[in-house]
A = this chain, B = another copy of it.
Amino acid sequence: MHAAPKLNAAFAALADPTRRAILARLATGEATVMELAKPFQMSQPAISQHLKVLEDAGLVALRVDGTRRPRRLAKPGIEAMDQWLAMLRKALEKSYDRLDEILAGMEPPKTKKGEKR
């Protein structure tokens, strides 16, 4: 079966700035827990816990190298979010050259007295 969307967990993971920073760091390549923890004031366990959240969300993957556990970005989880957002982006493009953008900037047509809804 195909690794379930887990969109709840994935978006929730991105809601935390520490986790976004971790992902941004991993975008430049693999890193260990210690390396990831360095920029923050937080304790090491806190970072491990953030990493667990990212893994459970399918955004980060693990590799074993001795006592170290280097993490890297996990493609499928990231793509899943990307595809969901694509839906909204497409809707925005559609409405751009159509009616909603007009309604947004203009005095609304405003239902008149006798008019039914």
Copies in the complex: 2
A24 touches B89 (CB 8 A): no
Interface string of A42-77 (1 = CB under 8 A from B): 000000000000000000010111100000110100
Cβ of A38 under 8 Å from chain B: no
A104 touches B8 (CB 8 A): no
Main secondary structure of the interface of A (DSSP, over half): helix
A14 touches B11 (CB 8 A): yes
A15 touches B12 (CB 8 A): yes
Chain B residue contacts of A66, Cβ below 8 A: 110-111
21 contacts between A and B (CB under 8 A): A7-B14, A9-B15, A11-B11, A11-B14, A15-B15, A20-B84, A24-B87, A26-B91, A27-B87, A29-B100, A30-B100, A30-B103, A63-B103, A63-B108, A65-B111, A66-B111, A72-B95, A73-B91, A73-B92, A75-B92, A85-B85
**Which residues of A approach B to under 8 Å, CB–CB?**
7-9, 11-12, 14-17, 20, 23-24, 26-30, 61, 63-66, 72-73, 75, 78-79, 81-82, 84-85, 87-92, 95, 100, 103-104, 108, 110-111
